[in-house]
Structure 1
């Protein structure tokens, strides 16, 4: 049965360039103009957030594009208030598109008298009338179970695999995929399968939070091009130290593929001064000028896959189909020059 409504996009202030890119890609896919709904998201002098939607959204299928990155609290409140405004304006359905889901690292109680903030955020989002969530590379997969609504979790590994096959063409037999810790093995194994590469692990032990005391490489990396795979890069301390350990163990080159470039504090300075030949980030979080200006940091766009995922949700077709190379490759063919 054909849809009688159009997919409509609305964006907060967290990552406007990504929202505009998604709208542009949707226009290309559909052959019909898709723009961002005209609205204003402003702050009063005391910091209160105010949202006003200037277009009629009654009965429409609405998609709010708003990663809850730094400043996490402001961007989260923008998302909640936009959702409330749309529900009160009689939107048929509200989907939250969170390329980066903030508070995801607080997914369990690590010690007594601590919160599970990811669950609290999920409750707030559902409470505002959001009916579906679309995100990418959740820090912990079980967060999907915190919601009583459908959650579609996209993966960056298929996009990274396309990038690896392009940038390391002719040298794929030298590739070794590396997990920076034991907890990230599943993510690294998934990428290793896609590029038909072996897997190694960097085992880290901490004396106290934020400080890595010792790192050990599990697996032989001698004369290998090592690709460290992680879901986020915050201060880059662990990443840069892992790269040094891999070089000390005989790796010929070290590169890193990370989905979410949080890049707080001294991260950019650490990466540019490290042994990393390149750090590849996606634009789920809007890159800062410092990130864009770093000589060994490269950005891979996620707008093509998010645009197609939004269209699939609107059409009622499979989102998981985007995990397959055969489906994803045509979406990125202009970027990687594929046949």
Structure 2
């Protein structure tokens, strides 16, 4: 592949704020302006999506930054159509940077006659011409195997660990990381190991889908600062109930660190009125004004880690090196000093 002067970034309408932040970070790293590719992504009156790229991208290493968050179908189609436009414009390579991968919860057949939509989405992305995917905290790790192209799955845990060490400095002996269900134990254990604190689990039992009948705390959380860790928060019903359960089990206070702030329906109101001291999310999904105004919701930026990952892919160097504190801390230098 030709050695181009700079990586080229293009963004859709899903998360333009993150796209601009990544562009600024790349400009800082490169010591020159790495602006977003000039393009328009708009809709006709009937809702059809139209893309036009105004710059020459022939032979370029292109990165499309687009979360497939709400509205998931529109944002997914934007990603596919942008890919087609770049491929027909003779881009050398197209990498999809998808901070939040929609449809990831449909990763297996839970009952008869149901789809595996995550696999369908993977097929569409590859067919459109995407040659590599960069994402963060996939809901199910096996989705990487749905693609026949390289998939780099970043983790928010290293970033969260920096934040936890900063916010709870001097109190880490009294911190316990909590998984909100048995399936998330590996994610919670990773953060607990990085921070060097204890681990607990909230075991939930459902009588029917969408309703949590009973929650039980596995582990001692008496007088502990509990940090619930998960990959996404949607309506926040389970999260808020888990926080109440922990307080009833003797916890001193409860915080939550969750990668993707879907926050649909009554979620923000629930979190605001909940017993949680704070909910920390990333900007993998464009935060709404209500989210930014919520008194106990805080947003951690992902632009530093995504910009560095894009540079590593462009240079052909290791992306997994960003999982090490020695590599990550300089990227967030100044934020947690």
TM-score calculated relative to the size of structure 1: 0.99
**For the residues of structure 2 that align with 1:6 and 1:222, how far apart are their CA atoms?**
53
Q: CA deviation at 1:156?
A: 0.1
Shift in Å at residue 3 of structure 1? 2.4
What is the correspondence of 1:48-197 to structure 2 with a 5 Å cutoff? Answer: 48-197=48-197
| CA distance in 2: counterparts of 1:52 and 1:27, whole angstroms | 24
Shift of 1:163: 0.1
Q: What is the alpha-carbon distance in structure 1 between the residues aligned to residue 257 and residue 102 of structure 2?
A: 19
Is the contact between residue 5 and residue 60 of structure 1 (CA under 8 Å) also seen in structure 2? no
Deviation, 1:334, is: 1.9
Q: Distance in 1 between matches of 2:209 and 2:77?
A: 29
Gaps of 5+ in 1: none
Match of 2:260 in 1: 260
Match of 2:217 in 1: 217
- Is the Cα contact below 8 Å between 1:69 and 1:101 reproduced in 2? yes
Matched residues in 1 for 2:131 and 2:200: separation?
40
Query: What displacement does 1:205 show?
Result: 0.5
* Alignment deviations for residues 121-152 of structure 1 (CA, whole Å, 9 cap, x no partner): 00000001100000000000000000000000
Size of the aligned set, in residue pairs, is: 337
Q: Alpha-carbon deviation of 1:6?
A: 2.3
Q: Deviations over 1:227-282 (max 9, x none)?
A: 00000000000000000000000000100000000000000000010000000000
Looking at structure 2, the residues matched to 216 and 67 of structure 1 have their Cα atoms a distance apart, in angstroms, of 34
Provide the residue aligned with 1:11 in structure 2: 11
Whole-Å Cα distance in 1 between the matches of residues 312 and 230 of structure 2? 27
Q: What is the CA-CA distance between 1:4 and the residue it aligns to?
A: 3.0
Tell me how far 1:335 sits from its aligned partner. 1.3
Give the equivalent residue in structure 2 for 1:21.
21
Specify the alignment match of 1:199 in structure 2. Answer: 199
Deviation for aligned residue 1:5: 4.6
Q: Which residue of 2 aligns with 1:287?
A: 287
1:289-321 CA-to-partner distances (Å, cap 9, x unmatched) read: 111000000000000000000000000000000
Distance in 2 (alpha carbons) for counterparts of 1:171 and 1:309: 32
The runs of 4+ residues in structure 1 deviating greater than 3 Å are none
Equivalent pair of 1:5/1:59 in contact (CA under 8 Å) = no
Q: Secondary structure at the match of 1:207?
A: strand
- The secondary structure found in structure 1 opposite 2:178 is strand
- Any unmatched runs of 5+ in structure 2? none
Distance in 1 (CA, whole Å) between partners of 2:173 and 2:197 is: 7
Shift of 1:32: 1.6
CA distance in 2, matches of 1:288, 1:206: 31
State the alpha-carbon separation in 2 of the partners of residues 250 and 181 from structure 1: 19
* Whole-angstrom CA distance in 2 between matches of 1:4 and 1:276: 48
Three-state SS of the structure 2 residue aligned to 1:333 is coil
1:153-184 Cα offsets, whole Å, 9 max, x none, are 00000000000000000101100000000000
Query: Do the aligned residues in 1 keep the contact of 2:4 with 2:60 (CA within 8 Å)?
Result: no
